[in-house]
Amino acid sequence: MLKRVNGTEKNIEIPRVRIADAEFPQPFKSGLEYASPARGTWNIVHTGMLIPEAHEIFVCASCCLRGVVLTAAEMGAQDRFSTVAVREHNLLDGDMEELVIEGVSDIINKLPERPPAVLVYTSCVHHFTGVDLDMIYATLRERFPDIDFTDCYMNPIMRKSGMTPDQLMRSRLYMLLHERELNPKAVAIIGSDLPTDKDSDLVHMLERADVKVHEITSCKTYAEYQEMAESSVYISYYPDAAPGGEMLAERLGGRHFALKYSYDYSEIDETFAELAKELGIPPRKQEEIDDLKEHCESELAETLALIADTEIAIDYTYSPRPLGLAAMLLIHGFNVKRVYLDAVSAGDKAAFEFLQKKYPDLELLPTVHAGMRFANSLSNRAGKVLAIGQKAAYFENTNHFVNVVEGGGMLGYEAVYKTARLMREAFEREQNMPELVGIKGLGCESGCCSGV
């Protein structure tokens, strides 16, 4: 419970709206924004570190450097991370290009070993001063021909102008791939921070068809990373990864396939059938699909029997389709009461409309609205709440929660039955929520991005 510091006796209302009354895609008015202590989602430092042996250099003001430098430190990856501080005189002197070029060069020359790749992150100030990034990168490439450079960005001010920072970063991961001959029997799963589960529908399907699968999360060396370029199809399933897939197709000549992330059985069947067609491999047999459905139903039934009418809250950090997940659980009899999200994605529009009609009392709550500062301390529900996702866990002030971010590498039917299993585990096992949700980049600490 948070100690009150402003001493006001006036009531503070936690913002919420019935889904029946909510507007698509923005259920809440934008305003001052709050940052909850749930820190499990990955940031641009974590994601960039997925490129093995690459070195990250951030060129920003110190207020922007602070978060990323400590992200690297908490990962134990300081030796793969450096900074160039932009100071006030640089804004006035007009020497921003020189600062980037000479700063990056200075750092490279001081590194104990020459990295094969350097990710240079520029920021909002470079955008606003009209810095000539093309000239900067051309100069760096000329100066260090043995290093692959790519442009990365920490410019959140552009988050509503074109590609979001998340989409941009996920696309940058593959900009260093060198064109090579395409292998028709090789594909790359792209754009997911977390490794796709070996048990997922996708990996099973590809392995059975004897397709060679590349994924950045399993690359141990830069050479291995470069082998991804042989892929003839780039499969994205995390929605923010799709623009990167399109860019790859344009640059390297393969094809991009955006697999739909869904908890709806018919949508899962449809998207996997389309993928099989795209790859020219046999579609899943009906018998296999029936087995998977039966498995899902069995797991869901077992979970429902255990947790019964326990209130459930879901947030968008668990899955890119929080409303799709809510719909699936409600259809199966679960007592989903609240979904935490700030906007409804295009992929969740159908679920949003379905829920408006069939479950109009489902509540939507924001995560960044200023009033959410008090959600945790005002959360004093009598019964147990099961949260699916870190932000829901924090706002509901519950130690019973599914501690997974960004889909957790689950996909297809596997995402359904595994979620049901994780819900049972969360219901039965109390966890230290405040401590767990504060860890940055959940899954990164396991070593998948801690380098070589």
| Residues in contact with another protein by the rule CB under 8 A | 2-8, 10, 12-13, 29-35, 37, 39, 61-67, 69-70, 73-74, 78-79, 81-88, 91, 99, 102-103, 106-107, 110-111, 123-125, 128-129, 154-161, 368, 370-371, 373-374, 377, 434, 438, 440
Taking the complex as a whole, the smallest distance from the CB of residue 127 to another protein amounts, in Å, to 8
Output the DSSP codes for 374-438.
GHHHH---SS-EEEESHHHHHHHT-S-EE---GGGG--THHHHHHHHHHHHHHHH----HHHHHT
Taking the complex as a whole, the smallest distance from the CB of residue 300 to another protein amounts, in Å, to 35
Taking the complex as a whole, the smallest distance from the CB of residue 91 to another protein amounts, in Å, to 6
Nearer to another protein, 32 or 305 (CB): 32
**What does DSSP say about strands 212-215 and 231-236: parallel, antiparallel, or unpaired?**
unpaired
Nearer to another protein, 8 or 286 (CB): 8
- The strand pairing partners of 213, in sequence order, are 187
Nearer to another protein, 241 or 433 (CB): 433
Helix-helix angle 242-252:165-172, to 10 degrees: 40
Nearest C-alpha neighbor of 65 from the set 110, 121, 117: 121
Nearer to another protein, 83 or 231 (CB): 83
Taking the complex as a whole, the smallest distance from the CB of residue 342 to another protein amounts, in Å, to 11
Phi, psi of 301 (to 5 degrees): -65, -40
Taking the complex as a whole, the smallest distance from the CB of residue 392 to another protein amounts, in Å, to 18
Mention every residue, 6+ apart, whose C-beta is less than 8 A from residue 286.
none
Element holding 119 (H helix, E strand)? strand 117-123
Nearer to another protein, 103 or 239 (CB): 103
Nearer to another protein, 256 or 369 (CB): 369
Taking the complex as a whole, the smallest distance from the CB of residue 86 to another protein amounts, in Å, to 7
Rounded Cα–Cα distance for residues 368 and 78 (Å): 30
